[in-house]
Structure 1
Amino acid sequence: MRFLFIGAGGIGCYYGARLQQQGHQVVYLARGEHLRALQDNGLSINHPELSFNQPVEALDDKSLQRRYHCDNFDLILMTLKAGATASVLDQMADWLNTAETPVLSLQNGVDNEPLIAQALGRHRTLGGLAVRIGGHIIAPGKIEATGPAQVVMGSWPNHQSEDIFPAATLDTFATAFNDAGIPTQLSHDIRHELWRKLIINNGVNPLSALTRLDTRTLTSHPAFGKTVYRMMQEVAAVAPADDVILSQTDVDEMYQLICHFDAIKTSMLVDKEKGRPLELGGISGAVISRAIKLNIEVPNTELIHALLLQQE
């Protein structure tokens, strides 16, 4: 199959390498020094279960649009920061709208799929989660990743909706992913799964950036661990704004998952250390905007969000 990864960071490069190693054609959309390193020296990935050092096809957006048509790909995967989704969809609108190629989001937050559906149609939109994976660029062309790196995906917003991507066709993508060593399962309600992941992201991402602590240190700390849990509860409180119901069980399951997962630096902490913009809008910002809509308080999320904005 033919895959395009829009966003060649730790997550996109890891999954792309897995697919490429299985014999699929993979193209990476990248920029800057990372793009030049990928073109000149190939891609290097260090993962406990994957050692990858191979040439790859990496292009900037203009070269991509000159060299390929949208229908040259079977699946386009969005693996860039949530804050860049709207601008990329706008910049590539003419190219993306020349075909019916489906687009799978593997990004943080709950606002990416609505943007894709608005731009390209619900019938081309696939929601997805990269689960239990930590992946970062440690140097141009070099990725360090950890975790079982699972994927959950489904037609947006759920399989009961109208005008969605055919659920049966998803099996072909899931099979390709699983055969490539990417543990993948399909969800009949991917919007609900995305909100469950937001529980974790809001719980640890902003606080880790503020404290500069990894996930294990946060959750085992007597005060920070409580704050993590409260910020998770605040996600459940605002989910009804998107017609999603998260139970106390959902919160407890996500809290136990992050407590027992490997100690990792969150993506927001890595961005903080590297002086890059933080993905606040897609995580804590999404919680706060829903709280305003519902006229409820999310004091822990608001405080950590405000402190990070002040530092920014």
Structure 2
Amino acid sequence: MKVAVMGAGAVGCYYGGMLARAGHDVVLIGRAQHVDVIEHEGLRLETQQFDERVGPPHLTGSTDPAAVAGAQLVLFCVKSTDTESAGASIKPHLAADALVLTLQNGVDNAERLRGVLAQDVAAAVVYVATEMAGPGHVRHHGRGELVIEPSPHSEAVAQTLAAAQIPVEISDNVRGALWAKLILNCAYNALSAISQLPYGRLVEGEGVRDSMRDVVAECVALAQADDVELPPDIDVAVRRIAETMPGQYSSTAQDLARGKRSEIDHLNGFVVRRGTALGVPTPANRLLHTLVRLIEDKAHDAV
């Protein structure tokens, strides 16, 4: 299968690297600093099971969105803030029968992308702990499973991913799964970013677990008001994140550490906006969103 990864950050490089390692032709579309290393040295894929370099002929890199041309599968991994603009940049080059699989935080990216593209777009829920440890070097800290929504291509894509050692589930309730992931992100991302602590150390802090419970309770109430069918045992899933990814820093924490804008507007910020629309109070989420935005603004003003 020919695969393109639009937005080759930590998530995109991990899944793209795993597919290339399994023998598929993969192009990683990302920033020049990563692409240059990938083109000359290959992608260093450091996981809990192996540490290898994956490169040509199966893995190449590009900074040009036109590199999606001919791909049967596009892993769409850009930040939620860039969904429409990135979709527009690949639109002229996409094969008519391509499946665009959104591997993004937030709950509405697939819907937003369908407003830009005519191709089949399917949402995926991502449970993986990864980071870019350096140019062309992705480090995997744990997990890696995907939950994808049904589409005409989903079964074939799921088989391809599973054969590349990527656990996959096709679910009729991806909306509920996306909201469940949103709740996990709302509980962990901002607190990890503000404290610059990994999940395992974060939850040991005084009052942290109680604060997380407040955030989760608001999100659950909002989901109920929005007629979202959540999976059972959300509280168990929240606790499990710290147990299965103790050394992981949230993507929001990684963004703030690099002085970059984060996706907080599409996480706790989304909860605040949706809560306002539906009349559901969200004070804990509002405070976390406000604090992260203040840190972002301070870093931006200092540049």
TM normalised by structure 1 equals: 0.88
2:82 pairs with 1:99: no
- Whether the 8 Å contact between 1:239 and 1:290 is mirrored in structure 2 is no
Q: Report the number of matched residues.
A: 292
Aligned AA (1:91): S
Give SS of 1:130's match. strand
1:113 and 2:116 equivalent? Answer: no
Instruction: Give the distance between the partners of 1:90 and 1:115, measured in 2 at CA.
Output: 11
Alpha-carbon distance in 2 for matches of 1:187, 1:292: 29
- Kept in 2: contact 1:10–1:136 (CA 8 A): yes
2:101, 2:124 within 8 Å by CA — same for their partners in 1? yes
- State how 1:204-243 maps to structure 2 within 5 Å: 204-240=188-224, 242-243=226-227
Cα distance per residue 1:84-124 (max 9 Å; x no partner): 1111112233233x513111011111121111222225x71
Q: Does 1:153 find its partner at 2:151?
A: no
Could you tell me which runs of 5 or more consecutive residues in structure 2 were left unpaired when the two chains were aligned: 297-303
Match of 2:125 in 1: 129
Matches within 5 A, 1:26-105: 26-55=26-55, 56-61=59-64, 64=67, 69=69, 72-96=70-94, 99-105=96-102
Partner SS, residue 26 of structure 2: strand
Q: Which amino acid aligns with 1:86?
A: E
Once the two structures are aligned, what percentage of the paired residues are identical? 28
Aligned partner of 2:272 in structure 1 is: 288
How far apart are the structure 2 equivalents of 1:173 and 1:63? Answer: 22
User: What is the CA–CA distance in structure 2 between the aligned matches of 1:181 and 1:62, rounded to whole Å?
Assistant: 27
AA partner of residue 138 (structure 1): A
Cα deviations across residues 202-254 of structure 1 (Å, max 9, x unaligned)? Answer: 1000111111121112223330111112212222122246531337x443132
TM-score, with normalisation over the residues of structure 2?
A: 0.90
Q: RMSD of the TM alignment (CA)? A: 1.8
Aligned equivalents of 2:294 and 2:199: distance in 1?
23
Distance apart, 1:310 and its partner CA: 1.4
Match of 1:257 among 231, 234, 240: 240
Aligned to 1:147, the other structure's residue is in SS state: strand
SS in 2 for 1:148: strand
Residues 220 and 259 in structure 1, CA contact (< 8 A), matched pair in contact too: no
Partner of 1:25: 25
The C-alpha deviation readout for 1:236-273, integer Å capped at 9, x for no partner, is: 122246531337x4431322322422311111111111
In 2, the alpha carbon distance for the partners of 1:31 and 1:286 equals: 27
Kindly indicate whether the alpha-carbon contact (under 8 Å) linking 1:241 and 1:293 is maintained by their aligned counterparts in 2: no
Range with greater deviation from structure 2 (74-83 or 253-262): 253-262
Where does the alignment leave 5 or more consecutive residues of structure 1 unmatched? 156-164
Residues 196, 62 of structure 1: alpha-carbon distance in 2 compared, 3 angstrom cutoff: closer
8 Å Cα contact 2:75/2:101 also seen in 1: yes
Relative to 1, partners in 2 of residues 1:88 and 1:242: Cα closer, same or farther, differing over 3 Å?
A: farther
Please give the alpha-carbon distance, in whole angstroms, between the structure 2 residues aligned to 1:258 and 1:246: 17
The alpha-carbon distance between structure 1 residues 115 and 183, as it changes in their structure 2 partners (threshold 3 A), is same
